[in-house]
Structure 1
């Protein structure tokens, strides 16, 4: 498997354009559970193109985006550099370069499954203030949807490392181990996107395991995806359904 830091370098435009955002209700719940004020600081780890950071920044919260991939970080900076409450750093989850006890909340949206947990958790403990909060967030595709079953079959056929890097490899019942015992709370919200065929193809290209354009696998994938789109589309669109999950609480001791 290639270096996780580099996997999205050629996919930034598709990632920023076609990846889903997160429900406002989820953001509001995170802020409510964190008891933040105007002096509070959130470190958004693995902030990517700034999809989640932007939602937090727009709520008036001070956010430090931590992202090691240059192309993704630059995309976030292009969008958010005019926001005085956003700071961007080239760093990793395992070594954030932040001061000890300097942040009130750590968020990781669609990114925690990429981290080295043995190194990340001690680093998170180091930078969190006493009584700080950890919030892990994922948009999880509703794979029981008939359309998603067909979509998954295409990925299984042509995305050679889909099974090894899929975030579903980190099961929900494993997540509590990263939180202080019995103090993690879980909230789930409905989320969806509507795609025409070009949008659906862009959504697939945004995934790190999708074959790159110009390869034989990509050409075959495109043909099969068009068949699936025509089978399930209604009025020229397919509905891409998600469950947006928030896991939040004090970090494990």
Structure 2
């Protein structure tokens, strides 16, 4: 199964429940790239644009490439009033960008869908010398703030969570250094969220790729079990989010030092 367009089937639900990033992350990227009207940016797989507007507001020449037809339409409706907004509905892996080059290329929890031996070389080629690659995502910890509840939810998973295809997209972001990038820098920020039982079920159903593909009778049994577990734990689950940012750059010159 190709999971890449799974979220595209539920754009409104995805947009509502997808965790947002923090202002500190945007500030770090924009400052590092000196992003403004004189610079260009490419966003890979923007989805519904949770990480789009801060970059648009700099006035940069912004281009998004989005595989999902519904997501691309959603983005156009959301940001089409910006004169510097442009979007292409196509597959980054195969799209021909012509002679375009960018000062910033960034991915908000998308680049892991692209095989590294395709993604990193193509991004390297699309960047101007000295250009920046920013990769960021949210890692969510459901266990630390809910030890007893977590064990009860794990039991629900063991009993009712049956998916036909496992999600296996993984990427070691530090592998960018194997493809010519340099000066890799990592930063992180932490946030907390509190969701009720109903909110947590909607969050799972709208943002977790395997959960979206659940079929009956497992789907109903699973979500009923999760809802009951959270309600029995005071109708609240605490989620600790780590917002992770990897910044790396293409060398200022294409020349290789020996």
Partner of 2:210: 209
Distance 1:215-1:199 versus aligned 2 partners, 3 A rule: same
Partner of 2:13: 14
Secondary structure in 2 matching 1:141 = strand
Alignment pair present for 1:249 and 2:251: no
Contact kept, 8 Å, 2:36 with 2:58, in 1: the verdict is no
Alignment pair present for 1:221 and 2:222: yes
Contact kept, 8 Å, 2:138 with 2:244, in 1: the verdict is yes
TM-superposed CA distance for 1:161, in Å, is 6.2
Contact kept, 8 Å, 2:64 with 2:87, in 1: the verdict is yes
Alignment pair present for 1:196 and 2:196: yes
Comparing 12-21 and 114-123, the one that deviates more: 114-123
TM-superposed CA distance for 1:196, in Å, is 2.9
Number of residue-to-residue matches in the alignment = 245
User: What TM-score do you get using the length of structure 1 for normalisation?
Assistant: 0.85
Distance 1:22-1:12 versus aligned 2 partners, 3 A rule: same
TM-superposed CA distance for 1:114, in Å, is 0.7
Partner of 1:178: 176
Distance 1:74-1:147 versus aligned 2 partners, 3 A rule: farther
Distance 1:143-1:36 versus aligned 2 partners, 3 A rule: same
Partner of 1:31: 30
Two-structure CA RMSD over aligned residues (Å): 2.6
Distance 2:156 2:41 in 1: 38
Distance 2:24 2:249 in 1: 21
After superposition, give the CA deviation of every residue in 1:69-95 in whole Å (9 maximum; x if it has no partner): 111222222211112222111122313
Distance 1:123 1:190 in 2: 31
Partner of 1:160: 163
Secondary structure in 2 matching 1:199 = helix
Secondary structure in 1 matching 2:92 = coil
Secondary structure in 1 matching 2:210 = coil
Distance 1:201 1:109 in 2: 23
TM-superposed CA distance for 1:125, in Å, is 1.9
Partner of 1:130: 129
Secondary structure in 2 matching 1:188 = strand
Mapping for residues 83-122 of structure 1, pairs under 5 Å: 83-122=82-121
After superposition, give the CA deviation of every residue in 1:122-166 in whole Å (9 maximum; x if it has no partner): 22122111111111101111244243845566556515268x426
TM-superposed CA distance for 1:194, in Å, is 3.3
Distance 1:154-1:75 versus aligned 2 partners, 3 A rule: farther
